Chains A and B, each alone.
Chain A
Amino acid sequence: MSKQQEMARSQDLLALRTGQPVLAARDLRKDFPLHPVSLGGGKRVVQAVENASLALYAGQVTALVGESGSGKTTVARILAGMHAPTRGEINFEGKAVNIKSAREMKRYLRKVQYIFQDPFSSLNSVHSVRHHLSRPLRLHGHAHGAREIEEQSLALLERVNLTPARQFLDKYPHQLSGGQRQRVSIARALAVQPVVLLADEPVSMLDVSIRLDILNLLLKLKEEEGLAFLFITHDIASARYFAEETQVMYAGQMVEGGPSDQVIRQPKHPYTRLLCSAAPDPERSARLAELGEAGEAPGVPERGEPPSLVNPPAGCRFHPRCPHAMEVCRQSFPARTDFGGGHWVRCFLYSQGEEASHR
């Protein structure tokens, strides 16, 4: 595989997708209760996620991009079974998911695994790599007996490029670097033999020079094993690199989605535009430097900060910061406008006269 290999990216997502999604969520809503500070006050909730829908397909990566507080991690955790949605439904391979017992949960987890962000705290520092890998193998019945477990553990380590595998088996987390720990986390998730991997900012806490290695590893797993990926990130450039589809979230609402290249190069939603302009881009700043402006990139001037989700703004939650906000934006959350090829946006700038309310 030469370094120059241009990554084939179809701009038409609809053509790429055959069959049904492996994991799909529709109109998810999640409220977290807040402990009331004052007596007699009503129960306050954090409206973390509202109207979230997405679909994961085998052998493809869907990126969920947003700032902290956008709800992207909450969506991933709902899909991983860690939170129950307040409303909305989840479908796995076409069938509705409704987990009520520990056994059903275990069965679900066998198919859907979660990779944590922090490689330093997602491994138990008192247990060796061997323990971390053998537990899922045992729990999900993929291996029985010490020898099978060891064979499969070694195979897992080789799949994530931790070689020579035998040397890593008995190491403890504190003896490994950040990148190596993250590989162990990935190996642990793979031990379960899932079909969906939910990766929550898997490389944000790693050194820059090894991030690409890990992303390339995930790409390899995607291509060779046909896994479906959800990639949560705040770095929109890595979403473009890694994911076929990108969806943008703001303050718990999904505002834009579509083929990654299109969403990032031709962003339609004002928030997506803001994100793209705010991200550091040496190429762009080098170009600007030649034009005589240094250090500042053009973009939406009024930046502001994400709202509190305890009392979120009504309608489209971006309207307080949006330079194009209209009266209707305060009243309801816009419906989807499709641009073809799978690119959609929820913004009243594009949906004239449509006033769908999804509340």
Chain B
Amino acid sequence: MQITNVTSQEGIAPITPEKKGTGRVGKTLKFFLSNPKIVVGVGVVLFFVLIALAAPLLTPYAPDARVVRGLQPSQPPSPAHLFGTTDLGQDVFSQVVYGARVTLLIAFVAAFGSTALQVLFGLTSAYLGGLVDDVLSLIINVGLVLPGLPLTIVLASLASAANVNKNEIVIALVLLFTSWQYGARVLRAQTLSLKEREFVAAARAVGESAWRIIFVEILPNELALVASTFVGTFVYVMGAEIALEFLGLGDPSQASWGSILYWAQNDAALPSGQWWLFVPAGLCIALFCGSLAFINFGIDEIANPRLHIEKPLKKALKSLKKTKEAVA
């Protein structure tokens, strides 16, 4: 009995069965969350974000309220004051928790804004080429040549000298405008290589406009790089912001992680052994930036499969599962 299969065309649907959740978004999300480094990093970041948002719920004191009076306003940590109090009798825990709001807000705004500029300028200059590329590259290169932190310090001190209100926004803007050049350069390089790919020529042949090609065809292919430079920008911006505040160029009257350190410095916390004045804030900074670095490592691992290290535990679990299924 012969079965003729000749009628089957090459075009028949592939044999691979559909797995659940193969939608692009769902798949990418699952993919990212399968990497432990990313999970840990994102978890820590979310933790701090939640703390910042829930600040009023976590502490009854305002950050600048003097809650301890008397001869020794500066107290080490105690059940009443988890992180102790400052020389002015302010609760350090409240400062840290409320300070998170300021620090994170500035950092987020600067990082997002900077990334937006990176994407816009990097991709456009690479794709359009010619005069546009020359001009934008000039701007980028000038920005790169000028030393970042000193420039930021100068701008910030000008702003504070001019007594501009809303100092946080000023800091965020200053950081934004001095940090986008590097990422733009990186994205430009990547786009230059992608633009030679055939699917870009094919999109042009079909009649797509330049803007659609840049943002709908090319950009999605660079998301890993954009994510990675975003995280890198975030770390840089965070560090630069803390540095500015530490130097007193932020708003010295408002609690933020950097200004906590500034006050600690002014109060000679280190020589006098008042460790609780700077250790909590310092630890928070370190943890936060560390988790950002973790996220970056995770993205690197995903983007470069050769960094995958086969975990013996995972393999053992898999073979265990197999024997269980075989027995069942």
Interface set of A (CB-CB < 8 Å, partner B): 80, 82, 102, 105-106, 109-110, 113-114, 116, 118, 121-128, 135-136, 139-140, 160-164, 167-168, 172, 175-177, 179-180, 183, 185, 188, 191-192, 210, 213
Chain A CB within 8 A of B221 CB: yes
Flag if A192 contacts B13 (CB, 8 Å).
Answer: no
Contacts of B197 in A (CB 8 A): 121
Flag if B198 contacts A164 (CB, 8 Å).
Answer: no
Q: A122-B202, A172-B24 are in contact. Are A163 and B221 (CB under 8 A)?
A: no
Q: List 16 A-B contacts (CB under 8 A).
A: A109-B206, A114-B205, A116-B198, A122-B201, A123-B202, A124-B202, A124-B221, A139-B206, A139-B208, A161-B9, A161-B10, A161-B11, A163-B12, A179-B10, A180-B11, A210-B10
Most buried by B among A105, A110, A135: A135
Which residue on A lies nearest to B212, using beta carbons?
A: A135
Flag if B207 contacts A183 (CB, 8 Å).
Answer: no
Contacts of B206 in A (CB 8 A): 109, 135-136, 139, 188, 191-192
Q: How far is the CB of A324 from chain B (nearest CB, A)?
A: 40
Q: How far is the CB of B249 from chain A (nearest CB, A)?
A: 43
Docked complex Cα distance between A119 and B198 (Å): 9
Contacts of A123 in B (CB 8 A): 199, 202
Q: How far is the CB of B220 from chain A (nearest CB, A)?
A: 4
Contacts of B16 in A (CB 8 A): 175
Docked complex Cα distance between A266 and B10 (Å): 35
Flag if A80 contacts B10 (CB, 8 Å).
Answer: no
Flag if A168 contacts B13 (CB, 8 Å).
Answer: yes
Considering only residues 191-236 of chain B, those with a C-beta below 8 Å from chain A are 197-199, 201-209, 217, 220-221
Flag if B13 contacts A106 (CB, 8 Å).
Answer: no
Chain A CB within 8 A of B271 CB: no
Contacts of B207 in A (CB 8 A): 105-106, 109-110, 136, 139-140, 192
Docked complex Cα distance between A176 and B10 (Å): 11
Most buried by A among B12, B16, B202, B204: B202
Q: Which of B9, B14, B203, B221 contacts A125 (CB 8 A)?
A: B221
Docked complex Cα distance between A122 and B204 (Å): 11
Given contacts A109-B206, A123-B202, 11 further A-B contacts (CB under 8 A): A82-B204, A122-B198, A124-B217, A125-B199, A160-B11, A163-B12, A168-B13, A175-B16, A177-B14, A180-B10, A180-B11
Contacts of A191 in B (CB 8 A): 206
Flag if B205 contacts A82 (CB, 8 Å).
Answer: yes
Considering only residues 1-58 of chain B, those with a C-beta below 8 Å from chain A are 9-14, 16, 24
Q: How far is the CB of B192 from chain A (nearest CB, A)?
A: 15
Q: A106-B207, A124-B221, A126-B221 are in contact. Are A213 and B202 (CB under 8 A)?
A: no
For the complex of A and B, list the 4 residue pairs with the smallest distance between their C-beta atoms, beginning with the closest: A126-B220, A162-B11, A161-B11, A124-B199
Docked complex Cα distance between A308 and B112 (Å): 50
Flag if A163 contacts B11 (CB, 8 Å).
Answer: yes
Which residue on B lies nearest to A168, using beta carbons?
A: B13
Which residue on A lies nearest to B18, using beta carbons?
A: A167
Q: A163-B11, A172-B24, A183-B11 are in contact. Are A116 and B202 (CB under 8 A)?
A: yes
Interface set of B (CB-CB < 8 Å, partner A): 9-14, 16, 24, 197-199, 201-209, 217, 220-221
Flag if A122 contacts B208 (CB, 8 Å).
Answer: no
Q: How far is the CB of B232 from chain A (nearest CB, A)?
A: 22
Q: How far is the CB of A75 from chain B (nearest CB, A)?
A: 16
Q: How far is the CB of A94 from chain B (nearest CB, A)?
A: 23
Contacts of A176 in B (CB 8 A): 14
Docked complex Cα distance between A128 and B208 (Å): 16
Contacts of A82 in B (CB 8 A): 201, 204-205
Docked complex Cα distance between A160 and B11 (Å): 8
Which residue on B lies nearest to A166, using beta carbons?
A: B13
Q: How far is the CB of B216 from chain A (nearest CB, A)?
A: 8
Docked complex Cα distance between A121 and B205 (Å): 14
Contacts of A139 in B (CB 8 A): 206-208
Contacts of B9 in A (CB 8 A): 161, 163, 213
Q: How far is the CB of A253 from chain B (nearest CB, A)?
A: 26
Q: How far is the CB of A166 from chain B (nearest CB, A)?
A: 9
Contacts of B13 in A (CB 8 A): 163-164, 167-168
Docked complex Cα distance between A191 and B9 (Å): 22
Q: A160-B11, A177-B14 are in contact. Are A188 and B24 (CB under 8 A)?
A: no
Contacts of A192 in B (CB 8 A): 206-207
Flag if A113 contacts B199 (CB, 8 Å).
Answer: no
Q: How far is the CB of A292 from chain B (nearest CB, A)?
A: 40
Contacts of B208 in A (CB 8 A): 135, 139
Contacts of A177 in B (CB 8 A): 14
Docked complex Cα distance between A335 and B70 (Å): 109
Flag if A175 contacts B221 (CB, 8 Å).
Answer: no
Most buried by B among A118, A121, A124: A124
Docked complex Cα distance between A164 and B12 (Å): 7
Q: Which of B201, B205, B217 contacts A113 (CB 8 A)?
A: B205
Docked complex Cα distance between A82 and B200 (Å): 12
Which residue on B lies nearest to A109, using beta carbons?
A: B207
Docked complex Cα distance between A160 and B12 (Å): 11
Q: A121-B199, A122-B199 are in contact. Are A109 and B10 (CB under 8 A)?
A: no
Docked complex Cα distance between A192 and B205 (Å): 10
Most buried by A among B197, B198, B203: B198
Docked complex Cα distance between A168 and B11 (Å): 9
Q: How far is the CB of B40 from chain A (nearest CB, A)?
A: 27
Which residue on A lies nearest to B213, using beta carbons?
A: A124
Q: How far is the CB of B245 from chain A (nearest CB, A)?
A: 40
Contacts of A116 in B (CB 8 A): 198, 201-202
Most buried by A among B10, B13, B221: B10
Docked complex Cα distance between A180 and B13 (Å): 9
Contacts of A118 in B (CB 8 A): 198
Contacts of B202 in A (CB 8 A): 114, 116, 122-124, 185, 188
Docked complex Cα distance between A125 and B27 (Å): 14
Q: How far is the CB of B193 from chain A (nearest CB, A)?
A: 12
Docked complex Cα distance between A4 and B10 (Å): 21
Q: How far is the CB of B127 from chain A (nearest CB, A)?
A: 15
Docked complex Cα distance between A126 and B27 (Å): 12
Docked complex Cα distance between A152 and B230 (Å): 40
Q: A122-B198, A122-B199 are in contact. Are A213 and B205 (CB under 8 A)?
A: no
